[in-house]
Amino acid sequence: MNNAIVKIKELSVTYGATRALSQISLNINAGEVLALLGENGAGKSTLINCILGRLKANSGEITIFGTSPGEQAAKQRTGTILQSANLPDNSTVAEQIELFRSYYPNAMDSAQLFQLAMLDGLQKRRLSSLSGGQKQRLFFALAVCGNPQIIFLDEPTVGLDTGARREFWQCIESLKNSGVAIVLTTHYLEEAEALADRVVLLKQGQIIHQGTPADVKAKALGKRMSFCSQGHTGQIESFFHSLNHATQSIHELVIKNGKVTLTTATPEKLLRELLNSNFTITDLTVESARLEDAILILSDQSSSPVAKPEQAA
């Protein structure tokens, strides 16, 4: 593993009686994409603000590039894309990039920036005419124009369509391949699974698991099962609720238009019970849990392990 750019040891932050972070220890390494995941209020933004020097911790240690967060030497080597950012609509793409390049002593070459952010051909376009995906790639270019060695992306593709999101993923991959550390927060778990080398799962200010996306899925020991069974929604719901009451092994249940989908840590036992039941089932599949299934299992986000059936559309 490459040398750590950020070193965090036993970091704690409190707001009054509320503990936002509790004894967080974590390194962030060059050339990796680290995804910070967790529900709203888990501590993701607090942790990032501590690393950036915008927030002071109550206890613990944190260094970035061997110095304290917020120091000018660290700022010059750090890039950020926040959830909300605004630029003058009447300015052009090239004007904004040249303005931001002027802020840095070792700015990236303009041509390299346009290529990296997939903005070639848009230099003279005014911001008011850009699509959502093009604007987000511009924000990406502005965040990296100072040649940062670490960049923080806070929900960078929220609101983008699938095509624009995948184009932005290419920008992130190119940056990672150049050795830059990337810290990503996202609610699109497909995004974390596609991009992240390491996932850190936060809950109530604590790290409850970290590892590769594959490690997280393996830790959850979950399988996704689906099958079709027409006309028995109420009976199927009762069957699984009763079964889960005895085994506590079902972490998700959705019934929609006759299709049943669930995640379970004990697929063999559940299959035996299902096949011994009186339900007529078709199109049965069992596959490895997805990252979102694993996170649901690990964080136990729902108040009840079995979700209510979804109403037919």
pLDDT digits 0-9 by tens, 106-115: 899 999 999 9
Number of domains in the chain: 2
Question: SS3 for 159-220, per residue?
Answer: CCCHHHHHHHHHHHHHHHHCCCEEEEECCCHHHHHHHCCEEEEEECCEEEEEECHHHHHHHH
**pLDDT tens track for 203-257:** 889 998 888 888 777 666 567 888 988 767 788 888 888 877 766 677 678 888 8
Residues 226 and 198 in one domain: no
- Look up the pTM and report it: 0.73
Domain carrying residue 235: 220-299
Look at residue 61 and tell me if it is in a domain.
Answer: no
Residues 160 and 178 in one domain: yes
The residues pairing with 13 across neighbouring beta strands, listed in sequence order, are: 21
Residue where one domain finishes, among candidates 158, 180, 211? 211
Look at residue 232 and tell me if it is in a domain.
Answer: yes
Residues 185 and 38 in one domain: yes
- Quote the DSSP letter at residue 127: G
**pLDDT tens track for 34-54:** 999 988 888 999 999 999 999
Residues 35 and 176 in one domain: yes
Residues 97 and 177 in one domain: yes
What is residue 272's predicted lDDT score, i.e. its pLDDT? 87
Look at residue 62 and tell me if it is in a domain.
Answer: no
Residues 257 and 180 in one domain: no
Residues 203 and 238 in one domain: no
Residues 188 and 88 in one domain: yes
Look at residue 6 and tell me if it is in a domain.
Answer: no
Residues 167 and 148 in one domain: yes
Q: Which residue has the higher pLDDT, 21 or 244?
A: 21
Residues 102 and 199 in one domain: yes
